[in-house]
Homo-oligomer: A and B are copies of this chain.
Amino acid sequence: MLTPPGLTAARFQQALERLRRVVGNDWVFTSDADLDTYRDAYSPFWGEAQERRASAAVAPLDVDQVQAVVRIANEFKLPIYPISTGKNLGYGGSAPNLSGSVIVDLKRMNRILEVDATRGFALVEPGVSYFDLYNHLQQRKIKLWIDCPEPGWGSVMGNALDRGVGYTGQAYRDHFGAHCGMEVVLPSGELMRTGMGALPGAKTWQDYRYGFGPYVDGLFSQGNFGIVTKMGIHLMPEPESMVAGVVEAAQYHDIEPLVAVLNRLENSGLCDGMPQISSPALGGLGDPPNPEITRVIGTPGGPKPADLARIAQGKPFWHVRVLSYGPKEVAQAKWAYAKREFRKAVPDCRIVEEVAYDIPLTPEKEEALSPYRLELDRKVNFGIPNLGIFAMGARSPAFPKPSDGHMWFSAVVPRSGAGVMEAQNLFCRAIAEAGVYIGFNAPIPLGYSPHLFLMIFPVFLSKSDPVMNRKGRELLMHLIDLGAKSGYGEYRAAPALQDFIMDRYSFNKHAYRTFCEQLKDAVDPNGILAAGRYGIWPKQLRKARRS
Verify if A317 is at the interface (C-beta below 8 Å from B): no
Nearest CB in chain B: distance from A423 CB, A: 9
Q: Which of A80-88, A103-111, A220-228, A302-310 contacts B (4 or more CB under 8 A)?
A: A220-228
Check B487 against A202 for contact (C-beta < 8 Å). yes
Closest to A341 in B: B327
Interface centre among A119, A330, A337, A485 (most CB of B within 10 A): A330
Check B204 against A488 for contact (C-beta < 8 Å). yes
Verify if A430 is at the interface (C-beta below 8 Å from B): no
Verify if A351 is at the interface (C-beta below 8 Å from B): no
Given contacts A171-B170, A214-B221, A223-B213, contact A208 B412 (CB under 8 A): yes
Check B221 against A215 for contact (C-beta < 8 Å). yes
Check B212 against A268 for contact (C-beta < 8 Å). no
With A and B bound together, what is the CA distance between A359 and B333 in angstroms?
18
For residues 177 through 197 of chain A, which have their beta carbon under 8 Å from a beta carbon of chain B? 177, 180, 186, 190-194, 196-197
Check B327 against A120 for contact (C-beta < 8 Å). no
Q: Which of A48-56, A431-439, A509-517 contacts B (4 or more CB under 8 A)?
A: A509-517
Q: Which of A18-26, A362-370, A448-456 contacts B (4 or more CB under 8 A)?
A: A448-456
Count of chain A residues with Cβ under 8 Å from any Cβ of B?
Answer: 108
Verify if A463 is at the interface (C-beta below 8 Å from B): no
Nearest CB in chain B: distance from A544 CB, A: 19
Verify if A287 is at the interface (C-beta below 8 Å from B): no
Interface mask (A322-365 → B, CB under 8 Å = 1, otherwise 0): 00011101100110110000000000000000000000000000
Check A204 against B337 for contact (C-beta < 8 Å). no
Across-interface contacts of A414 in B (CB, < 8 A): 119, 203-204, 207
Check A515 against B216 for contact (C-beta < 8 Å). yes
Verify if A504 is at the interface (C-beta below 8 Å from B): yes
Nearest CB in chain B: distance from A447 CB, A: 11
Verify if A286 is at the interface (C-beta below 8 Å from B): no
Check B120 against A199 for contact (C-beta < 8 Å). no
Verify if A492 is at the interface (C-beta below 8 Å from B): yes
Check A207 against B508 for contact (C-beta < 8 Å). no
Verify if A378 is at the interface (C-beta below 8 Å from B): no
Q: Which of A8-16, A125-133, A257-265, A291-299 contacts B (4 or more CB under 8 A)?
A: A257-265
Across-interface contacts of A219 in B (CB, < 8 A): 214-216, 218-219
Verify if A397 is at the interface (C-beta below 8 Å from B): no
Instruction: Give the copy number.
Output: 2
Check B267 against A269 for contact (C-beta < 8 Å). no
With A and B bound together, what is the CA distance between A264 and B222 in angstroms?
32
Given contacts A269-B272, A412-B204, A522-B522, contact A511 B120 (CB under 8 A): no
Check B210 against A491 for contact (C-beta < 8 Å). yes
Given contacts A169-B268, A213-B536, A214-B536, contact A487 B203 (CB under 8 A): yes
Q: Specify which of B177, B504, B522 is in contact with A519 (CB 8 Å cutoff).
A: B522
Given contacts A171-B450, A207-B415, A535-B213, contact A186 B515 (CB under 8 A): yes
Check B519 against A519 for contact (C-beta < 8 Å). yes
Verify if A217 is at the interface (C-beta below 8 Å from B): yes
Across-interface contacts of A196 in B (CB, < 8 A): 412, 489
With A and B bound together, what is the CA distance between A348 and B17 in angstroms?
68
Check B330 against A192 for contact (C-beta < 8 Å). no
Verify if A541 is at the interface (C-beta below 8 Å from B): no
Q: Which of A70-78, A234-242, A274-282 contacts B (4 or more CB under 8 A)?
A: A234-242
Verify if A138 is at the interface (C-beta below 8 Å from B): no
Across-interface contacts of A171 in B (CB, < 8 A): 170-171, 267, 269, 450
Closest to A327 in B: B337
Across-interface contacts of A489 in B (CB, < 8 A): 196, 198-199, 202, 204, 211-212
Across-interface contacts of A486 in B (CB, < 8 A): 201, 203
Nearest CB in chain B: distance from A451 CB, A: 5
Across-interface contacts of A329 in B (CB, < 8 A): 333, 336-337
Closest to A484 in B: B199
With A and B bound together, what is the CA distance between A309 and B505 in angstroms?
64
Identify 16 residue pairs between A and B in the complex whose beta-carbon atoms are under 8 Å apart, listed by A's number. A116-B416, A176-B215, A186-B511, A190-B514, A192-B508, A196-B412, A204-B413, A207-B415, A210-B222, A212-B490, A213-B512, A214-B224, A214-B519, A215-B222, A329-B333, A519-B522
Known: A192-B515, A201-B485, A204-B415. 15 other contacts (CB 8 A): A121-B451, A190-B511, A191-B511, A199-B484, A202-B489, A204-B452, A204-B487, A208-B451, A211-B491, A213-B222, A215-B219, A216-B219, A219-B219, A326-B334, A327-B337
